Amino acid sequence: MCEFASFVLDKTHEYYLQTSDSHTDIIEHYKLREMHPNGLDAAILKVEITPPPENRKAPIDQWNFRIDQDIMPTWFDAADAETRTRAALARRSADERWLIEEIGHQTSVGYAGTATAGARGTATAGYAGTATAGDDGTATAGDDGAIRIRYYDPKHNRYRTAVGYIGEDGLEPNTAYILDESHKFARKVSP
């Protein structure tokens, strides 16, 4: 059916395009093989994850997961496929500006949770949580937490992610961090 947001999974990777939610376009772009060489089993899994029809602006953790094919790969596990798709959607939300505008700029979670915000967003996680923010974002985590902020590396024409662990390299709990010009964590100064 190819609805927003569509992904294609193989045994180890999740694929999507910023320019299309067509499974066919994704498969062609990444030159994926749809069927196993035996001709009986699928080699990939076409999936979709969409906001609930009654709340198009629902947080992404409330979106509906759906498989869009009948023949499954031999490696298929429904729970694993959904987990991987939700993780890919979180990465995609950090990549694409339109998703931020639909959902908002700030996410917060508590104990051992994962908060993801897109470009210029704010992600806050509690004890042992992970806060991930997109370009020009802000990340905060509690004790034993981790922070991640994405940035663009023009030298290699790709995005990279700076990762820090609370309690290491001077990173303190419950402190808002941004990236400086050298892509190192720096305390966010309130205006």
For residue 19, CA distances in Å to 5, 9, 134, 152 come to: 11, 18, 19, 19
The average confidence (pLDDT) of the chain is 81
Asked whether residue 28 carries a pLDDT value surpassing 70, the answer given is: yes
Distance CA 145, CA 186 (A): 16
Taking alpha carbons only, the member of 125, 126, 120 closest to residue 188 is 120
Confidence of residue 87 (pLDDT cuts 50, 70, 90): confident
How many Cα atoms occupy the beta-carbon half-sphere of 18 within 13 Å?
A: 9
Ranges assigned E (strand) in 51-166: 64-67, 106-108, 114-117, 122-125, 130-133, 138-141, 146-153, 158-165
Confidence of residue 96 (pLDDT cuts 50, 70, 90): low
Residue 16, judged by CB atoms within 10 A of its CB (0-12, 13-18, 19+), counts as buried
Distance CA 89, CA 113 (A): 16
* pLDDT digit string, tens, across residues 117-176: 666 666 666 666 666 666 677 888 888 888 888 888 888 877 788 888 989 999 998 888
* pLDDT digit string, tens, across residues 36-51: 888 888 999 999 998 8
Inter-residue contact 25 to 17 (CB < 8 Å): yes
Asked whether residue 27 carries a pLDDT value surpassing 90, the answer given is: yes
Query: Domain limits of the chain?
Result: 6-100, 105-187
Average of pLDDT values for 101-113?
A: 49
Residue 123 has what pLDDT?
66
Bridge partners for 178 per DSSP: 186
Residue 98 has what pLDDT?
43
- Percentage of the chain lying above the pLDDT 90 cut: 33
Distance CA 74, CA 25 (A): 23
Residue 155 has what pLDDT?
85
